[in-house]
Structure 1
Amino acid sequence: MNLTICLVAYSQKFTETVSFYSLLNLTKNLKENINLYIFDNGSEDFSSSHEELDTHSFHSLNYIYNKQKERGTRIAYQSILDVSQDEWLMFLDDDTEISQPYLSKILSEIKKENQSDICAYAPLVFDHEIQISPTASDTLKMINFPKKPGIYSENLTGISSCLVVKSDLLIEIGGLNIEFPLDYLDHWLFWKIFNSNKKVVVINEKINHHLSIQEINQTNDLRFYSIFSSEYHFYKYYKPELLLNLYKKYVRMIIKGILGKEIGPRWKILLKILLERK
């Protein structure tokens, strides 16, 4: 049984990304079980470069340049879901350092006759020394409540990079939610999995990933708006029990911004989000 991997590239040439380099370093035996799709959201189309399209011992290697107006992870995941013939699909950001032990365990797991309600696998993801995924989902302070390896049927969320999901489940739920073109698509997906009475297995393997949202003050205003408007939308429509806490969090951030602290003048963007979405 083969595994489809959807590697989403952005500003860097995909051959120069951390994720592609780590995939190249896998053993040939592993690569022969992988159908790798590069979905490129960048500004330059590399599809005409024959060197970059060498299969590199993968079962197959395919390059898709995104010519659509929509950019982000949703269109990438959906596009690859639509063409993949494999039973399982892995999502992969271009700044994730995937490991051989994790891939080995994944390929072993998906070949087993597991419980029918298990539809996803996730690793322990770290940004330096901090576990950023998976975490509890019943709080806004998710990063303070990392989850351990095991089988979960509730109270779990995380990032989508290195998440392996059953293709039939994604089709069953109607594909990837267009309400989240980039940010909070991962949180919606975990919510949807558990809302469908399915389970997620957290595998005891560590993966390194650089989480850009951890450096929120270094993002531009458009990205800042995307992150927080998506966050507000998610909690308003999918986890309304936490919406009041989110509102209080934004009010505190706005007050600090007015006082020249933390987000500074970007408090106006948060205020705009609150006023737009009442």
Structure 2
Amino acid sequence: MRNKLVITIVLYQTEFSKTPSYEYFKKIAMEKNPVNLFVYDNSDNAQEDELFKLENVLYIHDETNPGLAKAYNAGANYLLDIQGDLLLLLDQDTQLNTMYLDAVLDLKLEEDIGAYVPIISSHGRQISPLFSDEYIGRKSKLPKADVYSERIMSINSGTVLPRTTLTELGSFNEDFPLDFLDHWLFWKIHQLNKKISVLDHHLTHDLSVLDYKKISFKRYESILRSETLFYQKYDQSLFYRHRKHLLLRTIKQFLQVKNRKIWRRTFSEYQVLMKGK
């Protein structure tokens, strides 16, 4: 028997019908698959779509835009309500495909595996998953398809979580409404002594935060605050590495980034952490 799956997709200022996976969603929603769609819309205005009328699709609009954590918690609760087996997290910019979905539906679930993740690329290079026992950066090592007990971090989108993991997590940490929620999630899964299964399937995702030309100062501010919270309160073993990295990042941004507010904000964060030795 195939796994009962809930796909939780979070929207922001984007029409559901214009997401990369919409036609695929439409196909699977209208077929007799053990798949439910949970669409959480953080946009200013609610939207309508023919799929929202289907029994296996639930649409929620939240104009307060609480980010990802609250949406994922709602998706997890929906999974528990319908007694689903797996929760697939999906951003609006990720392209889902038949091979990956079939692999997820046919997974043989094991108690010691806390998450199943695909290999994800953005603009031609692998961005996820990464080994995270050391401070994550451009030189981080990339795991191949296998099962790992070592620390691994994967982006939220594409991640599949068994119901047992969701139960042990309790809830997604709403201290990280958007940025660094993925870091916290995989740090927490490791704390639960769970393994990570990297599946031999590839997805593409447009990760705009990789490009300082596209990122807004407001979003960069959010990333910095979340980074500091994560390393100060959770992954404390890498706090001093993070502080050193902020100084190196400041220098690089000073030389390469036109938006001067960004390097100044990075340096101010470094100064604050130095004062709080």
Instruction: Look up the match of 1:81.
Output: 76
Indicate conservation of the 8 Å contact 1:5/1:37, yes or no.
yes
Correspondence for 1:33: 34
**Normalising by structure 2, what TM-score?**
0.88
**Partner AA of 2:58 in structure 1:** N
Q: In the TM superposition, what is the alpha-carbon distance from 1:276 to its structure 2 partner?
A: 5.1
- Look up the match of 2:9: 7
- Measure how far apart 1:34 and its partner are: 0.8
Quickly say closer, same or farther: Cα 1:264–1:62, change in 2 above 3 A: same
Q: Match of 1:241, as an amino acid?
A: S
Structure 2 segments unaligned to the other structure (5+ residues): none
Q: Which of 98, 106, 110 lines up with 1:100 in the alignment?
A: 98
Q: Secondary structure at the match of 2:186?
A: helix
Q: Which amino acid aligns with 1:43?
A: D
Question: TM-score by structure 1 length?
Answer: 0.87
Residue 260 of structure 1 deviates from its aligned partner by: 7.2
Aligned residues: 268
Partner Cα distance (2:271, 2:22) in 1? 42
Shift in Å at residue 168 of structure 1? 3.0
Paired residues of 1:123 and 1:202 also in contact (CA < 8 A):
yes
CA contact (8 A) 2:17 2:49 kept: no
Residue 217 of structure 2 contacts residue 261 of structure 2 at CA under 8 Å; is this kept in 1? no
SS of residue paired to 2:44: coil
> How far does residue 259 in structure 1 lie from its aligned partner after superposition?
6.0
**Is the contact made by 2:21 and 2:96 (CA closer than 8 Å) also made in structure 1?**
yes
- Whether the aligned pair in 1 keeps the contact of 2:87 and 2:160 (CA below 8 Å) is yes
Indicate the residue corresponding to 1:116 in structure 2. Answer: 111
Structure 1 unaligned spans of 5+: none
Q: Which residue of 2 aligns with 1:17?
A: 19
Mean Cα deviation higher: 266-275 or 96-105: 266-275
- 1:167 and 2:163 correspond: yes
Distance in structure 1 (CA, Å) of the matches to 2:43 and 2:190: 33
Q: Which of 118, 132, 136 is matched with 2:131 structurally?
A: 136
CA contact (8 A) 1:127 1:209 kept: yes
The within-5 A match list for 1:84-233 is 84=79, 85=82, 86-109=84-107, 112=108, 114-137=109-132, 138-141=134-137, 144-233=140-229
> Contact 1:9–1:41 (CA<8 Å) still a contact in 2?
yes
Instruction: Give the residue type in structure 2 aligned to 1:63.
Output: Y
Structure 1 residue 255: Cα displacement = 3.8
Q: Relative to structure 1, is the Cα distance of residues 143 and 209 closer, same or farther in structure 2, using a 3 angstrom cutoff?
A: farther
Residue type matched to 1:36 in 2? L
Distance in 2 (CA, whole Å) between partners of 1:66 and 1:19 is 22
Matched, 1:53 2:48: no
Give the CA deviation at 1:142.
5.3
8 Å CA contact retained: 1:120, 1:163: yes
Q: Which amino acid aligns with 1:202?
A: V
State the superposition RMSD in angstroms.
2.3
Q: Counterpart of 2:175 in structure 1: which amino acid?
A: E
Aligned to 1:269: 265
Q: How far 1:39 sits from its partner (Å)?
A: 0.3
Render the CA deviation track for 1:107-129: whole Å, top value 9, x for unaligned: 000xx3x4311131111111132
- Cα distance in 1 for partners of 2:254, 2:113 equals 47
Deviation at 1:242, TM superposition (A): 2.2
Q: Using a 3 Å threshold, how does the CA distance of structure 1 residues 136 and 50 change in structure 2: closer, same or farther?
A: closer
Where does residue 242 of structure 2 map in the other structure? 246
